[in-house]
Amino acid sequence: MYIAAVILSVLLALFSLAAGAPKAQLKGDVPEGLVAKGLSSGLVRFIGLAEVAAAVGLVVGIWWQPLGIAAALGMVVLLIGAVTYHVKWGDYADSKTRNAAMAPVMFCLISIAAACTLAASI
């Protein structure tokens, strides 16, 4: 079970870091798009920092599982917020944006799996 926990944690940490770094720096198309849709730049930066912190927590959580579990559950909360955001903007109903909007759903499931496997490996 520990190997599965490591794989899921690393995968989730890489995703979280790749998604969070541009938002934390407010650089790139994604942060600009979020600000254009009404989110404040401070909120976008906060979300990015939370994603980066989750990535660090997941990596450290490989050795200290309680932190990894907390980071994975934090990612679940963050990704539920992302799904709610996509629902608000109708991204799941639009065939052009549906594929990109499915990423938070998929990674939410991966976050739950990571938390469960980390808990099982204690």
Q: Give 52-96 pLDDT, tens digit per residue.
A: 999 999 999 999 999 999 999 999 999 999 999 999 999 899 888
The parent domain of residue 28 ranges over 2-120
**In this prediction, what percent of the chain has a pLDDT beyond 70?**
100
CB 107 within 8 A of CB 78: no
Total of domains in the chain: 1
Q: How confident is the model at residue 100 (pLDDT cuts 50, 70, 90)?
A: confident
